[in-house]
Amino acid sequence: MIKVLLILLLASSCAARAQQTLVPVAEPTARIFAQVTSDARVQRALQQIELNEPQAIEEQIRITEIPAPPFQEQVRAAYYLEQFRSRGLADAYIDTEGNVIGVRPGNGNGPLLLIAAHLDTVFPADVDTTVELRGGRYYAPGIGDDTRGLTVLLSILEALNDNNIETEADIMFTGNVGEEGRGDLRGIKAIFRDHPDIDGFISVDGVNLRRITTGGTGSRRFEFRFSGPGGHSFGAFGLPSAIHAMGRAIAKISELRTPLEPKTTFTVGTVDGGTSVNSIAADAVFAIDMRSNDREELALLESQAKNAALAAVTEENARWNNPAISVEFVLIGDRPVGSTPVSSPIVQVAALAFDAIGIELQELGISSTDSNVPMSLGIPAITIAGGGEGGGAHSPGEWFAPTNSHVGPQTALLTLLGLAGIAGTTPALLLEISD
């Protein structure tokens, strides 16, 4: 009992130090959330998370050392499925897309809340992911993004089960595939396709807990593929070149102007083509990434880039008076634009959780995460980090330091319970979509 009181006093003093001002919170929401944080079982769960954090870090290391590039997450998924089942999700399974899914039933009177972390990393399968401890930091590719999120979900499951916390809402726990790169959010897209009854979504992604992501930056990625007859550089001189057309297109695209607000960007990231130095190129291709925080601006940018490529083809063909070059636009990535309003209970509850744990909420962010998908569908969604300190994400020098890392799963737990409700104690603040 003394330990519980100490934790309550600690939470109270932390909240007093770090009251956020970015999110106006409705009084009924604050009142219900206060009931959640004062529940003795919840206080014991928070204490357990802190005490068990060293074991959680060991689990984080084990998961990190299982390589999981996009489209090659199977081994990590099989291991993660075992962890779900050993933590009470007896019916957990791997779906047809490769996602690991387990549902912790509520009392049958609430919504369905999804909490997820992504299984994949950006690194190829042959990259060494052995974790090394140097100077208080753990170094390994993928140690933070998003192995930390996967670990947080397991910590939450343990805390709920060990403290006999039943929720109003059903909670779907997921380790999803395909968040990174050409994975193109395929895992989360499949989940929302197959489970249209999901009412809210929390993504736990990365480290450095300081913001709530409430907006989804959209992106459209294409390969622009140029083709023509090709030929010998001397004997067939006079034929148009696929590479020349590609060069003209890149030059035109580089001169496009985009607004600073809403932020809208583009880059030609890779180029390829041709056969040899003494050949007129029969083929050429570049990959272009276009992003915006606004649907209309993204659509406009895509149209301008395609028109630039078409104009480049026309110019190259006209230069040689031969209509032999053509261009094909192949979509390789589509991340929808979306947002969750500050007035949504999911944002307000997360902000209250930051206060309760004593974390300074520094910003409401916009980025490209799994939350893009539900946001674009009008489903309340946020992304928060998993705690600890880190840097070098997406690089071989990625690192993680477990400095106060327990606050990540603590914040996620309080957010989860505020939204899902505690059976017989507090209602679910997350509304069913049908409501």
1 CB contacts (<8 Å, ≥6 apart)? none
In a domain, 363, yes or no: yes
In the chain, the percentage of residues whose pLDDT exceeds 90 is 93
Task: Say what the pLDDT of residue 139 is.
Answer: 98
Task: Say what the pLDDT of residue 433 is.
Answer: 80
pLDDT at 187 over 80: yes
Element (H, E) at 384: strand 381-384
In a domain, 407, yes or no: yes
Q: What's the CATH number where 286 sits?
A: 3.30.70.360
Bridge pairing between strands 137-139 and 326-335: unpaired
In a domain, 432, yes or no: no
* The token pair that represents 415 in the structure block: 């957010």
Residues 161 and 224 in one domain: no
In a domain, 351, yes or no: yes
Residues 270 and 147 in one domain: no
Q: What's the CATH number where 107 sits?
A: 3.40.630.10
Residues 379 and 324 in one domain: no
Which of the listed residues 335, 353, 371 is the one where a domain comes to its end? 335
333 phi/psi in degrees, rounded to 5 = -165, 135
Q: Are 137 and 15 in contact (CB under 8 A)?
A: no
Residues 253 and 309 in one domain: yes
Q: Can you tell me the distance from the alpha carbon of 360 to that of 363, in angstroms, rounded to the nearest whole number? A: 9
In angstroms, what CA-CA distances link 222 with 251, 295, 332? 17, 17, 5
Residues 289 and 365 in one domain: no
In a domain, 401, yes or no: yes
Domain hosting residue 15, numbered range: 2-217+337-420
pLDDT at 10 over 90: no
Residues 318 and 362 in one domain: no
Q: Are 348 and 34 in contact (CB under 8 A)?
A: no
The model's pLDDT over 236-290, given as tens digits with 9 standing for 90+, comes to 999 999 999 999 999 999 999 999 999 999 999 999 999 999 999 999 999 999 9
* The token pair that represents 228 in the structure block: 């023509």
Which of the listed residues 275, 304, 335 is the one where a domain comes to its end? 335
Q: Can you tell me the distance from the alpha carbon of 108 to that of 171, in angstroms, rounded to the nearest whole number? A: 11
In a domain, 429, yes or no: no
Q: Are 404 and 147 in contact (CB under 8 A)?
A: no
What number is the average pLDDT over the span 32-46? 98
Q: pLDDT-derived band of residue 434, with 50, 70 and 90 as boundaries? A: low
Task: Say what the pLDDT of residue 12 is.
Answer: 45
| Residue 271: closest CA among 240, 300, 239, 248 | 248
What number is the average pLDDT over the span 63-80? 98
Q: Can you tell me the distance from the alpha carbon of 386 to that of 406, in angstroms, rounded to the nearest whole number? A: 9
What number is the average pLDDT over the span 325-331? 98
369 CB contacts (<8 Å, ≥6 apart)? 179, 203, 205, 213, 216, 383
> What's the whole-number average pLDDT of the chain?
95
Task: Say what the pLDDT of residue 18 is.
Answer: 57
In a domain, 427, yes or no: no
> Looking at the chain, how many residues does it have?
435
Residues 27 and 120 in one domain: yes
Which of the listed residues 306, 335, 364 is the one where a domain comes to its end? 335
Residues 376 and 324 in one domain: no
pLDDT at 409 over 60: yes
Structurally, the chain folds into a number of domains equal to 2
CA-angle at 354, arms to 353 and 359, nearest 5°: 150
Residues 190 and 95 in one domain: yes
In the chain, the percentage of residues whose pLDDT exceeds 70 is 95
Task: Say what the pLDDT of residue 4 is.
Answer: 42
Q: Are 100 and 118 in contact (CB under 8 A)?
A: no
Residues 247 and 105 in one domain: no
* The token pair that represents 408 in the structure block: 């990540």
For helices 295-320 and 242-254, angle between their N-to-C axes, nearest 10 degrees = 140
Residues 140 and 19 in one domain: yes
Residues 58 and 79 in one domain: yes
Q: Residue 110 class from Cβ within 10 Å (0-12 exposed, 13-18 middle, 19+ buried)?
A: buried
In a domain, 380, yes or no: yes
Torsion sign, CA atoms 157, 161, 166, 170: positive
